[in-house]
Amino acid sequence: FFFDPSVHEMSKAPVRVCITGAAGQIGYALLPHICSGKTFGPDQPIILHLLDLNIEAVQTNLKGVKMELEDSTYPLLKGCVTTGDATVAFTNADFVIMLGAFPRKDGMERKDLLAKNCGIFKEQGALLNTVANKTVKVLVVGNPANTNCLIASECAPNIPKENFSALTRLDHNRAIGQLAIKANALLEEVQNSIIWGNHSSTQYPDINHATIKGKPAKEVIDDEAWYTGEFIPCIQKRGAAIIAARKLSSALSAAQGISDHMHDWVLGTPLGRFVSMAVSSTGNKYGVADGLIYSFPVSCAAGKWTIVDGLAINDFSRDKMKATENELMEEKTMSMEILKA
């Protein structure tokens, strides 16, 4: 009996992966992760639903992306739909990665940005509610990601709240990277940093529970001034620093963060290791208000995330966690007023 791994590899049914804002630079950087099996597993066939604005130039760009995917001959890619119609894109979707959002423009108040995005995510949440699979997993990346995720979830009552998450894995990975550089350690030797709260400059990168080469990170890097004065602001403002340097927002690293987030959510985290995901705060044991999408340390197994409980929180951490919670509460209040209007 001759075992042919290629036959075995294709025995799974394809999953439908929808990407919104797919013609943008994050989408372009993300597609190789998804199509090569890095995101959902080396034996998981994929059908892509690529959605972007129903404008001729954007749809032409999307067709060009589809041509490149055809030319890349990914064995796992079993089909690709490009569309400007969200109903088509979301129909029977198993996973939806929401890159698309209204960008902040110069001189724009946060309330104006929230108003623009409330409209988008209210409409897309309602559509997900009716046409996507009821087991769909949704990752919101477009900013303000946590609150956009909350709005989509609120407008999709048929989909479990735990199936919505927002991206803070990019921030988490940034923290791991900076710790590895500072400690002159290998990336795989750095574990369990945490991003608490909002994907904004109020986020709290916490290394109190991180380890480097199995030892507490704060013992390995015994430098509180560096931690509070350099590391925390560096992670909080890293996105802005990349825009200042490249004149473009993070794409390569954002795609890696998205791929890592979905991989761990679907396929699980290694035993004893946790990662950061912005998820429903309802029922958490850290005193964070219910009803928010807030980034916590989580572990994942069998397609489900669980907040890691029982981590000691000092006063410094508590203050930082509260500040980012307050910002999320403000965003929620503004958004709910806009949705009612």
In tens, the pLDDT along 14-67 reads 999 999 999 999 999 999 999 999 999 999 999 999 999 999 999 999 999 999
Compute the distance between CA of residue 304 and CA of residue 282 in angstroms, rounded to an integer: 15
Pairing of the two strands 137-140 and 95-98:
parallel
Tokens encoding 112: 């104006």
pLDDT band at 308 (very low <50, low <70, confident <90, very high): very high
Instruction: Give the model's pLDDT for residue 57.
Output: 98
Q: What is the mean pLDDT of residues 260-274?
A: 97
Q: What is the mean pLDDT of residues 290-306?
A: 98
Instruction: Give the model's pLDDT for residue 107.
Output: 77
- Of 109 and 305, the one with more pLDDT: 305
Tokens encoding 83: 């569309």
Known active-site residue 199:
yes
Instruction: Give the model's pLDDT for residue 7.
Output: 52
Helix (H) and strand (E) counts in the chain: 13, 14
Residue 264 has pLDDT above 60, yes or no: yes
Compute the distance between CA of residue 248 and CA of residue 301 in angstroms, rounded to an integer: 35
Compute the distance between CA of residue 100 and CA of residue 73 in angstroms, rounded to an integer: 26
Residues 97, 320 contacting (CB under 8 angstroms)? no
Compute the distance between CA of residue 61 and CA of residue 82 in angstroms, rounded to an integer: 10
Residue 214 has pLDDT above 60, yes or no: yes
Instruction: Give the model's pLDDT for residue 112.
Output: 86
φ, ψ at 50 (rounded to 5°): -100, 115
Catalytic residue, chosen from 172, 199, 261, 263, is: 199
| pTM, rounded to two decimals | 0.95
- Among 82-91, 111-120, 144-153, 163-172, the least confident range: 111-120
Q: What is the mean pLDDT of residues 128-144?
A: 97
Peptide bond just before 160 cis, omega within 30 deg: no
Residues 219, 212 contacting (CB under 8 angstroms)? no
Closest C-alpha among 237, 246, 134 to residue 178: 237
Q: What is the mean pLDDT of residues 161-176?
A: 98
Read off the DSSP letter of residue 40: T
Residue 227 has pLDDT above 70, yes or no: yes
Mean pLDDT for the chain overall: 95
φ, ψ at 317 (rounded to 5°): -65, -45
- Of 54 and 7, the one with more pLDDT: 54
pLDDT band at 6 (very low <50, low <70, confident <90, very high): low
Residue 105 has pLDDT above 90, yes or no: no
Instruction: Give the model's pLDDT for residue 175.
Output: 98
